[in-house]
Amino acid sequence: MNILKQAFARPWIWSFAATLAVWLVTIAFTGGASTLGLSQAALTFAAFSIIVGLGQMFVITLGPGNVDLSIPATMTLAGTLSLKLMDTQNALVIPGLLVAIAVGIAVGVGNYGLINLLRIPPIIATLSSSFIVQSTAIWSNRGLRIKPPPSIADFSTGATLGLPNVAIVALVLSLIAWVVLEKSIFGRQISAIGQNMRAARLAGVPVDGVRFSTYVLCATLAALCGFLLSCFSGGAALNMGTEYLLTSIAVVVIGGTAVAGGFGNVPGIWGASLFLFLVVSMLNTYGASAGVRLLLTGLTIIAVVLAGSRTIAKPIGSD
């Protein structure tokens, strides 16, 4: 009883419960024929939103007003530039990866530079930098669709022991993120800043340094995701990041990370990402359209924040 109570006190348990329910319903509908395929597809597509969601989670945990809107542009630029450099040659995979990471670091440094130097809210800083990053991507892409080197293309579409490789990458990154968030100085400091920036500064937390690192981390994860996604889908497309702007925020919010900051949640991102994908495929098996899918996603987000607001209004331990 107590264990159950504890489990349900964790906000992310709901996204997993919902995911499981949707998964079972879909399997039941298709008579179990597609169990393996559906699970693999879910893990593959969820992996991309998990990777960007991790970065967005760290940023949102920094407190009200912190959000990174440059994620889609960063993904596109990293994918475009790295594919261009690799030029379908297997030998250049590592340099290509490094270019992607360099793009991420550069965008992150630029973002926090704008926030700090121009004293503008993160939302407008990342917005204006995303315009420039997106333009750079368009300019460097020139409408050409360069294929990824075969080795990395095989890797990103392949599976190991039945698990999609991208999901394994996402899992490793999530484990690292979880350790950073829960067990490291950096995670504590992010959480402190998100709860009360002034108190954090007065407790000796290096606020500028932590926020800077967080924005760089977020952009780097976005760049990595862009690299993987472009290799997975056989080339970088200019609109490849678009859907991840709202998705990255949605998975963080549904996953139980506090919108007001100060409390991040890694497992919840998995639950939310899988849930979002499975809702889509469930509706697809029922023959529902993309419109219904979007509609339900939106209503889910609103329902989740509404449910969250109720628990905040009630003082802790009142029952």
Partner 1 sequence: MANPAPGAEVIKVDGADKSFGAVRAIKNVSFSVAAGECVGLVGHNGAGKSTLVNIINGGLAADSGTVRVEGMVLGGHHTIATARDHGVRSVFQELSLCPNLTVTENTHIAHASLNGWGWRRRAEAMIRAKLAEIFPGNSIDCRRMVGELSIAERQMVEIAMAFSETGAQARLVILDEPTSSLDASLATQLLGYVRSFVASGGAVVLVSHILGEILAASTRVVVMKDGAIVAARPAGEFTIPTLVAAMGSVARERDRRVTAPATSGALVLSEPGVAGSIAFAANAGEMIGLAGLAGHGQTRMLVGLFMTQGGDWRARRDQKVVFVAGDRFVDGTFPRWSILKNLTVSLLRDLSRFTLLRLAGERQVADDWKLRIGIRTEDLDNPILSLSGGNQQKVLFARALATRSPVVLMDDPMRGVDIGTKQEVHALLRAETDKGRTFVWYSTEMDELCQCDRVYVFREGKIVGELRGDDVAEAQVLAASFAGAVA
Partner 2 sequence: MRGWLNAERVRLLVPGLSLAFLLAAVFWLQPRAMSYTGLNLLFNLAVPIALATIAQMLIMTVNDLDLSMGTFVSFVACVTATFLQSDPLVGMLILLACIGVYAGLGVLIHLRGLPSIVVTLGMSFVWGGLAVLLLPAPGGSAPDWIRWLMKSKPPLVPMAIVASILIAGVAHVLVKRSAFGTVLRGVGGNERSVARAGWSILYARAAAYALAGFFAVLSGICLVGLTTSADANIALRYTLLSIAGVILGGGEFIGGRVSPIGAVIGALTLTLAGSFLSFLHISPDWQIGAQGTILIAVLALRLLLDRRGKMDAAL
CA-to-CA dists, residue 224 to 78, 143, 181, 247, angstroms: 7, 22, 19, 17
Nearest to 74 by CA among 213, 210, 227, 177: 227
- Helix, strand, or coil (residue 164): strand
298 binds partner 2 (CB under 8 A): yes
Q: Which is nearer to partner 1, 69 or 190 (CB)?
A: 190
Task: Give the end-to-end CA distance of the chain in Å, rounded to a whole number.
Answer: 15
28 contact choice in partner 1, partner 2, none (CB below 5 to 8 Å, kind-dependent) = none
132 contact choice in partner 1, partner 2, none (CB below 5 to 8 Å, kind-dependent) = partner 2
Q: Which of 92, 109, 171, 188 binds partner 1 (CB under 8 A)?
A: 188
Q: Which is nearer to partner 1, 154 or 208 (CB)?
A: 208
120-147 burial, b at 16+ Cβ within 10 Å, e below that, comes to eebeebbbbbbeebbebbeeebeeeebe
Q: Which of 253, 266, 278, 282 binds partner 2 (CB under 8 A)?
A: 253
Q: Distance between CA 204 and CA 299 in Å, rounded?
A: 41
As beta bridge partners, residue 164 has 159
132 binds partner 2 (CB under 8 A): yes
218 binds partner 2 (CB under 8 A): no
Burial of 117 (0-12, 13-18, 19+ CB in 10 A): exposed
Q: Which residues bind partner 1 (CB under 8 A)?
A: 179, 183-186, 188-189, 191-192, 195-196, 198-209, 212, 258, 262-263, 316-317
Residues that bind partner 2 (CB under 8 A): 64-65, 67, 69, 114, 118-121, 123-124, 127-132, 134-136, 138-139, 142, 242, 246, 249-250, 253, 259-260, 289-302, 305-306, 309, 312-313
